[in-house]
Amino acid sequence: MNASNNIVAAIFAGALIGSPIGVFAADTTTKTPAETKAPAETKKPAQTKKSTAKADRLDVNTASLDQLKAIRGLDEAQAKKIVEGRPYKRRGELLSRKIVTQETYDKIKDRVSTRAPGTKAQTN
């Protein structure tokens, strides 16, 4: 009986210190949320966001004064200057023709585009 107690005690002690028996061993590794998701759930939304971002840009050649004023970074006076300076071939003309300042252009350049009738939006 003494020998069986020693064997049980040895197994229990081995389990506690992490012996190969490992009855009480737990998985102590932590996984990031991306590692725990299934492969179908780890799609990159950046492509979708990028393609919709171009579609959401406001055409400065056809936008109303109210639509231009709604762009964060443009005030009423700047929106009026944009309307009065039409047409634009490129959105960069807002800066080169001194319609807006560099600071304002940096704020709005990702929100505006120019479009000639019947063509796709220009993003340069």
Asked, for residue 77, whether it belongs to a domain, the answer is yes
Asked, for residue 36, whether it belongs to a domain, the answer is no
pLDDT digits (tens, 9 = 90+) for 94-108: 999 999 999 999 999
Asked, for residue 92, whether it belongs to a domain, the answer is yes
pLDDT digits (tens, 9 = 90+) for 73-88: 899 999 999 999 999 9
Domains: count for the chain:
1
Strand-pair partners of 58 = 112
Report CA-CA distances (Å) from 88 to 55, 59, 73, 77, 121. 18, 10, 19, 18, 12
pTM, 2 dp: 0.52
Read off the CATH number of the domain in which 85 is found.
Answer: 1.10.150.320
Asked, for residue 64, whether it belongs to a domain, the answer is yes
User: Which domain, by its residues, includes 81?
Assistant: 57-113
Asked, for residue 74, whether it belongs to a domain, the answer is yes
Asked, for residue 68, whether it belongs to a domain, the answer is yes
Query: How confident is the model at residue 53, as a pLDDT?
Result: 57
In this model, does residue 48 exceed pLDDT 60?
Answer: no
Structure token digits, residue 19: 């012996």
Asked, for residue 95, whether it belongs to a domain, the answer is yes
Could you tell me which of 109, 2, 10, 119 has the C-alpha nearest to residue 60? 109
* Mean pLDDT, residues 15-44 taken together: 57
- Band (52; pLDDT cuts 50, 70, 90): very low
Query: How confident is the model at residue 93, as a pLDDT?
Result: 94
